[in-house]
Structure 1
């Protein structure tokens, strides 16, 4: 895949930046958490090789290489804001989760926006803001007067965004490698850092499961791939339990709200699950 001049100059400069020692990195992260912009720049430049290596997997998906790297850097900073050194997890092992999530989200938004009419995107964005204001109460939000007449449109866009678009081949560059989908990208073999983060998430969920009934527990475990060989979509879980996708979604959200009622569980899960939709 041919590089642009801007990309060539960018990658030429990567080797100018030194890696940080573990002690230096912790000190920089503490400064980032206090809002130090210079420390944020230092953290980004010292981790450029790492972010570039993650971003490389997503080339040809509708965003330029530099845009992918920028999204990865935003994920890196989000990881720094949430990082807790007391948990004894190396920052790089923790950050890979957020870097990949940030890039995947940007790629997804780039591809899905082409397939969904703008008026529906505007409607769903408004719905998501209302959902956040209602502390993630889906039933309450969908039944508000302003959304009551648009239930079908809202559910249709949410389902397409999460499931249909994930299975649709993406990328229109001649350098694309054969119709890979977002689902293919998301389900790529886990790195050592991914597996470390997943082990920690598994431990957190295992400790919290006593708060759920058996059906809620199974849905959460299947959805996040805890004690399973993979993560399952809402549709796959529905087929397994003889439920509709939307019913599975509602049970999942209810179960997560139960878990989030406990401050300790909420704090730990917030490290791995973006709670804006909860």
Structure 2
């Protein structure tokens, strides 16, 4: 009992030093909690080459836990950090599929899923559920469900999957399979295109805070290497309501789609004129 108390007191002292900017304390504390980070990263690393990235993201989650932890509350730091580390790791996996290496990661996962299905069918004579497949692959079921959406060409436009410490709606799905709709991720991946569209919006929407729109999109979708944030986190960061953030995101996507379509029409018109 006394040993545990001393350990907790030492932990609180380290956290206090970290919050005062003590880099040595931060290094010491990070090393102390590496076991938890590595455990969770290995748990969710469905392929070996993603493990280093997940450890890095897990450490980001650990830093966020240090930042937000309140030692006055009757909760162990390890329990609190578990939530944040897991959160950052799962977000990294989802972002990996959505934004960075969709074809390669998708094919890897698809092959593994098919293998699990064959083995399960051979042993039990029935098809496994998503939960059973996810459990067999040691993968979050929400990631598996997201990847299944890609097979039906449904685009993910929102991943608002944590609100405080409660899990809320994972997906705000919008169908972008129609040829009339722009591929929003194509815009997001092309920095020059995104900047060009926002410059046009600045000219047309002079009364609007277009830079704030861009900021909201960057924070929400994790553009430019940022960690994706929930509505609540963005609202707190910008000191506005969650409803306002949702409204900004929705309005901004509509205006991006409109500008993108207009640019495409203009390009097509120029091509036709060039051939005349």
TM-score, normalised on structure 2?
Answer: 0.40
Which of these two proteins has the greater Rg computed from alpha carbons?
2
TM-score, normalised on structure 1?
Answer: 0.39
